[in-house]
Chains A and B, each alone.
Chain A
Amino acid sequence: MKDAMSPDPEERLFAESVRDGVRQLRKQRGPCPSAEELLAFLEGRLESGDSTRVGEHVDACGVCDLALMRVRAAVADPDGRGLSAWRRMSHLFGNPLVAYGLAALLCYPAYVGIRSHPEQKVEIQPKAGTPPGTVLEPAVLSVPSFSLDAVRGAGREAQLPVVRLHDQNKFFLLQFFVPMKADHQYSVEIRDGAGRVTVGHQQITGDTQGKVALMCRRESFAASEYTLTVAEDNPPGHQFEFVFRVE
């Protein structure tokens, strides 16, 4: 028997175990029934004796068993759907070319998504007459705004205004009020809790009522307590102090 030559001892042992029984069954099975008889057997149209004979033949004949299996499946599932459809799908995806192709197809959108993820850019329409190639800043930028007026002159005992920022906030606005005089110049200085200068002596202006707004860069302010000092420079005069904390 072919299998007996197999190098696998288990296979050889199996072949030897069934050898005599298989030979006996082959000897008993006789010639294959006709296709008509086989179909009649499948449909239960044979007489009892004939049915037993054909059944015993099928038990011992791989070819007739295969033919019956195929016809039975074709009659039960004429469109070839169901399990055989799954089988076809598994054959399809079992093909390495199809599997790798599909994987590549799925990876590509992920790759594109990763590559094109950088921050969204604001579409800016250039003004008429702007030279081509000019890099334009957005016309409007939304930034968080914080008022320091609540603690003006109240000292450290009062609750400090807190600047809470998210990672995506690159700028924030500090607003406060100082009684500005039209013919005076004012400057601002900001120091952190350790007394280090964060923003050194910059001239500022406010509106006619003395409202001042400072656009601050997020990265310049680590989490700390800060003191903002507004000074009348010219002529020298009052100083106004605002304390706040950045978190």
Chain B
Amino acid sequence: MAGHERHAEIDPGSAESSPLAAEGEQFAFQFEACRRELLKLCRHILGVSDGAEDAVQHTYLRAYGSRARFDGVNFPGWLARIAQHICIDVLRARWSSRELEDTHGLATTHDEMRVVNAIQIRTILRGLPEEQRICLKLFYFEGYSAKEVAERTGFTEKQVKSYLQNGRRNFLSAWNASNKGTK
């Protein structure tokens, strides 16, 4: 069982009959009972194919290392929380921080210029559908291409382009509407 192997790595050389080994066995046994649900959770957060198994193993290691802090109330819930932390870290690790490219000197005429300020952007983005909002942010705030967004989110490139296109349209509609409202 994978959990047992991990335990052996964490606690090498311990005698099988020692209380520590027995505790490890007990922990591994309890963990195995939750493994399926944890794998489902990690797959859901990370996407079906990407590193869910690894995230579960990391969950085991981290949970075992911090087992002293477990309050003894809800073992599956505690494991799920650790798994969520790990998945968030894994998700974030896929995205390195990028500087946005300079865009001065674009070929747009002054008449076409629309300047949307930070508060408006934040407000309008909050009102957009989730997928559109996230694709717009990853594209415009983080500087990733549609292809890169697709690779890291699990959406197809076509979907990302569609979310971007619809997101831009909805964003501008909302912006126009808010401008009319203030006039």
Interface residues of B in 103-155 (CB under 8 A from A): 103, 106-108, 112-118, 120-122, 125-126, 130, 133-134, 136-145, 153
Q: How far is the CB of A11 from chain B (nearest CB, A)?
A: 7
Interface residue B68 (Cβ < 8 Å from any Cβ of A): no
CB of A74 within 8 A of CB of B140, answer no
CB of A18 within 8 A of CB of B45, answer no
CB of B85 within 8 A of CB of A62, answer no
Interface residue B91 (Cβ < 8 Å from any Cβ of A): yes
Q: How far is the CB of A157 from chain B (nearest CB, A)?
A: 82
A67 partner residues in chain B, CB cutoff 8 A: 45, 87-88, 91-92
Closest A residue to B165 by CB, please name it.
Answer: A11
Residue among B44, B103, B139, B153 making CB contact with A19, cutoff 8 Å: B103
Q: How far is the CB of A110 from chain B (nearest CB, A)?
A: 31
Residue among A2, A32, A38, A80 making CB contact with B145, cutoff 8 Å: A2
CB of B118 within 8 A of CB of A71, answer no
What 0/1 pattern do residues 67 to 88 of B give for CB contact below 8 A with A?
0000000000000010011111
Residue among B134, B141, B144, B153 making CB contact with A22, cutoff 8 Å: B141
Q: Assuming the A-B contacts A16-B113, A73-B44, are A94 and B156 also in contact, with contact meaning beta carbons closer than 8 angstroms in the complex?
A: yes
Interface residue B58 (Cβ < 8 Å from any Cβ of A): no
Interface residue B8 (Cβ < 8 Å from any Cβ of A): no
Q: Assuming the A-B contacts A14-B168, A16-B106, are A59 and B126 also in contact, with contact meaning beta carbons closer than 8 angstroms in the complex?
A: yes
**Interface size range on B against A:** 35 or more
Closest B residue to A73 by CB, please name it.
Answer: B44
Residue among B45, B86, B136, B172 making CB contact with A70, cutoff 8 Å: B45
A25 CA to B114 CA, complexed, in Å:
17
Residue among A18, A35, A71 making CB contact with B116, cutoff 8 Å: A18
For chain B, what secondary structure do more than half of its interface residues adopt (helix, strand, loop), or is it mixed? helix
CB of A15 within 8 A of CB of B140, answer yes
Q: Assuming the A-B contacts A62-B138, A69-B134, A70-B44, are A16 and B103 also in contact, with contact meaning beta carbons closer than 8 angstroms in the complex?
A: yes
B116 partner residues in chain A, CB cutoff 8 A: 17-18, 21
CB of B143 within 8 A of CB of A25, answer no
Closest B residue to A17 by CB, please name it.
Answer: B114
Interface residues of A in 1-39 (CB under 8 A from B): 1-5, 9-26, 28, 32, 35-36, 38-39
Interface residue B15 (Cβ < 8 Å from any Cβ of A): no
A22 partner residues in chain B, CB cutoff 8 A: 100, 118, 121, 140-141
Residue among B92, B121, B130, B144 making CB contact with A2, cutoff 8 Å: B144
Interface residue B54 (Cβ < 8 Å from any Cβ of A): no
CB of B106 within 8 A of CB of A4, answer yes
CB of B117 within 8 A of CB of A66, answer no
- Chain A-chain B contacts (Cβ-Cβ < 8 Å), number: 144
CB of B88 within 8 A of CB of A71, answer yes
Q: How far is the CB of A111 from chain B (nearest CB, A)?
A: 32
Residue among A12, A23, A39, A66 making CB contact with B100, cutoff 8 Å: A23
CB of A24 within 8 A of CB of B89, answer no
Closest A residue to B122 by CB, please name it.
Answer: A59
CB of B81 within 8 A of CB of A39, answer yes
Most buried by B among A59, A78, A79: A59
Interface residue A50 (Cβ < 8 Å from any Cβ of B): no
A91 CA to B156 CA, complexed, in Å:
9
CB of B100 within 8 A of CB of A62, answer no
A3 CA to B138 CA, complexed, in Å:
11
Q: How far is the CB of B152 from chain A (nearest CB, A)?
A: 8
Closest B residue to A42 by CB, please name it.
Answer: B84
A36 CA to B81 CA, complexed, in Å:
9
Q: How far is the CB of A53 from chain B (nearest CB, A)?
A: 14
Interface residue B7 (Cβ < 8 Å from any Cβ of A): no
- The contact sample of 14 A-B pairs, CB cut-off 8 A, is A13-B108, A15-B103, A16-B113, A18-B116, A20-B117, A21-B118, A21-B121, A23-B100, A24-B118, A61-B142, A62-B136, A70-B91, A74-B44, A80-B44
Q: Interface of B with A (CB < 8 Å)?
A: 37, 40-41, 43-46, 81, 84-89, 91-92, 95, 100-101, 103, 106-108, 112-118, 120-122, 125-126, 130, 133-134, 136-145, 153, 156, 168, 171-172
